[in-house]
Structure 1
Amino acid sequence: MSCAPINAPLGPVPDPVVAADSSLQIIGFNTGAEAVFGCPAREVLGRDLVSLFPERFVSVLYDGLGELREEAPETGRVSRRLNLFGVRQDGEEVALDATLCMLQSGRAESSVVLVLRSHSMAAEQGPQPDQGKTDGLTALPNRILFPELVDQSLKRLEHHGRNAAVILIDLNRFRLINSSLGQAGGDRLLTQVGRRLQSHLRPGDTVGRQGGDQFAVFLNDLGEVEHIPPLVARLMDSFSDPFQVQGYELFVTASAGVSVFPDDGTTSEDLLQRADMARTRAEDTVQNNWAFFAPDLDTKAWERLELEARLSRALERQEFHLVYQPIVDLASHRMIGVEALLRWAHPELGPVSPGVFIPLLEETGMIVAVGQWVLQEACQQLRAWQDAGVGPLDLSINLSPRQFADRQLESILEGALRESGVGPGQIRLEITESLFLRDLPEASEILSRLNDRGFRLALDDFGTGFSALNYLRRLPFHSLKIDRSFLADIPRVVEDTALVRGIIHLADTLRIRTVAEGVERSEQAEFLRWLGCPEAQGFGFSPPVSAEDISRLAWQGGFLSLAPE
């Protein structure tokens, strides 16, 4: 865009407003717009509206207009918030908050009005954002620009003693959506999420994209802290309506954490960090949940870091050990196999719950090295049992998502077999459905190679994921483990009983063995046997025990009974 420079207007500058007719020819350009773009109105009137913006933002503008045309009633007005960059007279780009409005009256053709707000004007001539500070996909402020805008606002709020809030929002299971619909589908969803969040903000609030599926929202200039929950609830409620992506209706949930200025921090860095802590707490409860930051989260964060540091040295210091839970033949109640389970006994902390340290191993990536140790140790123990005349026993070993994705998995398995001298047919590799939901073709290829090598494959926690029935007939599983959550109330609860009956019948039809987990009562075991389930494990038969206890059970005949109720 080229036009003659103008002198800065005297007095307060109004919000920039640009109006265009139905063909997007500029028909209005006020003094605020002249100040932002550095052009007098006479040089702009009659030009195309898109000439005010860089080429990369033209599609953002057109998409916003298209959505407005679909939503606009025959008479009335609708609006859409956008984040754009404008091109000034000297070629410099300026970041703009834009409210795009469509006006209609009767049968008259619609006109378009853009009400703009320059970040530089809002920051009282602060540093001008550059192209590298805007997210290329959503055109929102990115993780560089968003904190700058927050810090600029916080300085003004601190001076006036006002409150504000930062919200971090993560989409739940976005990776699954991305792998199912491809990157283009995932990008389309992220773009729609950004626009929907914008549409639920007040004037002066800001939404940015932090990267991946994470968005950040700044609620500016709040009167009282009590005003925050309704505003956050409104943002979270925006996910209740489905998103339209590639012809599919996607119901998306999210988790959010909220930090409050100045109570939880006085800088964007502090507020973002503490909002993230609160988000983690919300994510651990239920989907589409949000939580405020609480001071005890700081303590928990340090405790987690300390635990992570201790965990990083646990393998080297030989603090891990294995226990083994018997797997029982339901017809004879004799032990036919064991599942190897990892335990950690810290010299100072004592035994640490697997529910605490195993997710941490997975998140940090340490699970790959520890998982290799588990494979080697369990295979060596299986060989020791064989040499002592214990068995024959099958050995079940869990593979975590990180292990399954590791390119060295097959060579690690081969090494464990070679060093121990046991055969692959005695090893049952247990995997969860989430392992192959991400990339089914690649997962299918890996499973096929493991199957061809002679390993037995088990689908763990069956029924707790998505579309498991579809994968059962497509992947080479030899057995599936019915999750304990379905077994707790059988045969007393009709719905659970019917579900378990259906799973066993389906597996039998596909010639896949079933293993019932979490069996604790004799009536459960008898009913499962009557339904045709051949194997079970659970505390009713035996808790996980040491290798020596497994040897003792085997020498005593391996018979395990359940006490009647």
Structure 2
Amino acid sequence: MKFQRSPLQLTLLYLVVALLWVLGSDALLLELGLDREHLVRYQLLKGCVFVLLTGLLLYAALIQHQREQSLIRHHIKRSEERLTLALDSAQEGLWDWDLKSQNVFYSRRYCALLGYTPEQFGNSRSDWEERLHPEDRKLANQRLQALLDERTPYYEGIYRLRHRDGDYRWLLARGQLLLDEAGEPSRFIGTSVDITQRRADEESLRQAAAVFDSTQEGVLVTDREQRIVHVNPAFSRITGYSSDEVLGQSPKLFKSGRHDAAFYHSLWHALEQRGAWSGEIWNRRKDGEVFPMWQCIRSIHDEAGNLSHYVAVFSDISALKRSQHELDYLAHHDPLTTLPNRLLFSERIEQALQRDKQRGALLLIDLDHFKIINESLGHNTGDQLLKQIGERLCGRFDKQLTLARLGGDEFGLLSNDCAHAEQASQLAQRLLDSLAEPFSIDGETLFIGASIGISLFPDDGNSVEQLLRNADSALFRAKSSGRQTFSFYSQDMTTLARQRVKLEAELRQALEQNQLRVYYQPIHRLDDGRMLGAEALVRWQHPERGLVPPGEFIPMAEDSGLIGAIDAWVLEQACLQMCQWLQQGAQLEFVAVNVSSRLFSRGELDLRVARVLAQTGLDPARLELEVTESAVMDDPDRALELLQHLRSLGVRLAIDDFGTGYSSLARLKRLPVDKLKLDQSFVRGLPNDAEDAAIARAVITLGQSLGLRVLAEGIEQEEQAVFLRELGCTLGQGYWFGRPQPAEQLLATAASAL
């Protein structure tokens, strides 16, 4: 039984039925004419029946109402459960702000988002507001106020709330403003969800997008069918293709044709097995240029593990390839002449040796007296000369020959087709003839000769080191033979080379064991023949070989660096000997000591001389230092400063071997020297050689004009002394006056001059 009427209708119906019952039942009883006793009894019965019937009706109505309320509560509970489940599934928390009471309901899920229980979180707007991030508080309040003022029905906002652990969580809030019957805001209800991770993911995506767009590496993305779906700006810059031109296309569009099917098979095999491939690949730009790039390809899979995309990241390595080529070129070529260097030359020799039945020749070429040009005219002129030599030789010899600059003034020539020594001889002579022609540099004409050492392979060696070593031994023989010639290697050269090594070790011992001796060659006036002084010359008294010629060990001392120590020792011995002579009454004006270019270039010569003079007590005016012309011209400004320091000590200064270098007269007149020594190479041909006579006359005239005395070296005949005296030369030395001799013998000669 269900009552579908309203409460008013049911009440009116009840009143009508009750009135009808009361009135109808009373009228019926009166009609029956019952006596008073029965009437009272029936009226009581009638009332009980009425009460019973209305009670049943009321009971039925209450039962129905209870059922309906229970059903309603059940539906409400189900709805709340569904709402709670939906909000929990969506990770959203509910809030309900009663604008009349200013109380706010925060669901348990909402509080849990921030690490609280509802009891801990509170139920007011201030509880929420105090947890807002300071940077978000002003904007959040402004938006809420605008919502209330403008009656905007829907709301959405993002802000940060402080979690219980102290960190802040990003929340996305969506809500609706409810108005009452008067149109005034009554409730503000909505949900909030934690989007902290989403914000972090979005930030990562933005950063990845920025990197994707700004990276210098090209990026290409294809789907599983290898259709291009995305490229970055660097891709367009490298390949020349715009994104519109390649989207939907296949990467085969860029194939260069340089790689065969096996290459691509290996690439796809690596992608299938390892999910990645990286390596060098050549592709083609839009303009058709084929270029190298380093590319990394990866397979991308979706959540189900199915292949979804391929991503290729690549960089243009054209510049790197060029740099590698340039570095390789620089590593194998001389930067000055652009010829192959020692490394590449050695590799070419190695390749030639590896060929069966290959016969060839290795030529080492050393320029004669190049150091003099380099020191007198400057390193720039020397470099220009080296370049011209390389250009000339390259232009005159077959390209199949390998011409290399091995360092300094040394060149190498390799011939892979030289079966006989005669062919190597012809090749060496062609080299000498080519170098004999003059070179023109900055308006100056220069001549340069060369010495050549030749080793043949495989006869003279089966390794690069052995061939070079043997050719160097042959080169040494060519130099020792007077230069401007060539020499072949022979076995006895190895013996000589070993003797040189042994001799150098013995020379070092000679310094330590006092085996060196000082000999003195007299210096005479040419007008009356009187001896004025002596030149100190070093000799080696070997314990087994006896007196070793200076021409044998002096070059070795210069090469090994021992010459500086020897010169210092000779200087000290000569000063001590001069003091002894003077004590014995010898009428000698000075003792001359040669200063090697190595000792002169050290820059401490003035200090060493001052120390020796102080230790020996020799009058500085009795000491004459002879410095070679080439040593002075190596660094004229520095040499001038050092000579001035020496002059301030009071010693005499002389320029040795004058005429063999390239002195500048402007610099020469500034040098604080007392004497010029005419080199013996210009004295040897006098008086018959016209050229020697002209040079001797010019040097003597130059010395006279500068107020310098001139000493001629190497006088061996009386005619030479007479001729030089007539030219105006004042001093001379040589075998005609006396050979170098020990101090005791020279003293007897000096005594005769008393």
The TM-score, its normalising length taken from structure 1, stands at 0.72
Paired amino acid for 1:135: D
Query: In the alignment, does 2:6 pair up with 1:6?
Result: no
Aligned to 1:407: 603
Distance 2:377 2:594 in 1: 29
Distance 2:286 2:581 in 1: 86
Paired amino acid for 2:512: E
1:311 to partner: Cα distance? 0.7
Aligned to 2:406: 210
Aligned to 2:751: 555
Instruction: Flag the 1:512–1:239 CA change in 2: closer, same or farther, 3 A.
Output: same
Q: Residues 93 and 131 of structure 1 are in contact (CA less than 8 Å); yes or no, is this contact kept in structure 2?
A: no
Q: Which segment drifts farther, 548-557 or 448-457? A: 548-557
Query: In the alignment, does 2:574 pair up with 1:378?
Result: yes
Query: In the alignment, does 2:663 pair up with 1:464?
Result: no
Deviations 1:391-450 (A, max 9, x none): 343111111111211222111111110001012111111122121232222222222222
Query: In the alignment, does 2:330 pair up with 1:91?
Result: no
Aligned to 1:509: 705
Distance 2:695 2:391 in 1: 41
Q: Which of 336, 357, 378 is the equivalent residue of 2:532?
A: 336
Q: Which segment drifts farther, 487-496 or 536-545? A: 487-496
Deviations 1:255-312 (A, max 9, x none): 3222111011111111111112222222334554322222221111111111111111
Q: Which of 350, 363, 368 is the equivalent residue of 1:151?
A: 350
Q: Which of 537, 546, 553 is the equivalent residue of 1:350?
A: 546
Instruction: Flag the 1:90–1:322 CA change in 2: closer, same or farther, 3 A.
Output: closer
Deviations 1:2-58 (A, max 9, x none): 98361479xxxxxxxxxxxxxxxxxxxxxxxxxxx9979x9799979xx99xxxxxx
| Bigger RCO (CA 8 Å, 6+ sep) | 1
Task: Kindly report the root-mean-square deviation, in angstroms, between the aligned alpha carbons of the 2 structures.
Answer: 3.5
Count of aligned pairs between the two proteins: 461
Distance 1:95 1:439 in 2: 39
Q: What does 1:107-506 align with in structure 2 at a 5 Å threshold? A: 132-156=331-355, 159=356, 161-179=357-375, 182-243=378-439, 245-246=441-442, 248-467=444-663, 472-488=668-684, 490-491=686-687, 496-497=692-693, 499-506=695-702
Aligned to 2:58: none
Distance 2:531 2:379 in 1: 48
Paired amino acid for 1:144: L
SS in 2 for 1:91: helix
Q: Residues 426 and 455 of structure 1 are in contact (CA less than 8 Å); yes or no, is this contact kept in structure 2?
A: yes
Instruction: Flag the 1:233–1:494 CA change in 2: closer, same or farther, 3 A.
Output: closer
Percent identity among equivalent residues? 40
Q: Residues 377 and 662 of structure 2 are in contact (CA less than 8 Å); yes or no, is this contact kept in structure 1?
A: no
Deviations 1:456-478 (A, max 9, x none): 11122333333476654232221
Instruction: Flag the 1:540–1:195 CA change in 2: closer, same or farther, 3 A.
Output: closer
Distance 2:640 2:608 in 1: 19
Q: Residues 531 and 750 of structure 2 are in contact (CA less than 8 Å); yes or no, is this contact kept in structure 1?
A: yes
Unmatched 5+ residue regions in structure 1?
10-36, 53-86, 97-127, 559-565
Distance 2:400 2:285 in 1: 30
SS in 2 for 1:282: helix
Distance 2:576 2:483 in 1: 42
1:337 to partner: Cα distance? 1.2
Q: Residues 167 and 275 of structure 1 are in contact (CA less than 8 Å); yes or no, is this contact kept in structure 2?
A: yes
1:180 to partner: Cα distance? 5.3
1:153 to partner: Cα distance? 2.6
1:319 to partner: Cα distance? 0.6
Q: Residues 400 and 431 of structure 1 are in contact (CA less than 8 Å); yes or no, is this contact kept in structure 2?
A: yes
Instruction: Flag the 1:472–1:186 CA change in 2: closer, same or farther, 3 A.
Output: closer
Paired amino acid for 2:711: V
Q: Which segment drifts farther, 333-342 or 231-240? A: 231-240
Paired amino acid for 1:292: F
Q: What does 1:17-56 align with in structure 2 at a 5 Å threshold? A: none
1:557 to partner: Cα distance? 3.7
Deviations 1:80-109 (A, max 9, x none): xxxxxxx9898377879xxxxxxxxxxxxx
Distance 1:207 1:530 in 2: 52
The TM-score, its normalising length taken from structure 2, stands at 0.55
Q: Which segment drifts farther, 310-319 or 530-539? A: 530-539
Instruction: Flag the 1:234–1:372 CA change in 2: closer, same or farther, 3 A.
Output: same
Q: Residues 677 and 713 of structure 2 are in contact (CA less than 8 Å); yes or no, is this contact kept in structure 1?
A: yes
Specify which structure has the higher proportion of helix: 2
Deviations 1:182-237 (A, max 9, x none): 55544444344334333334344323332223222221243444333333333443
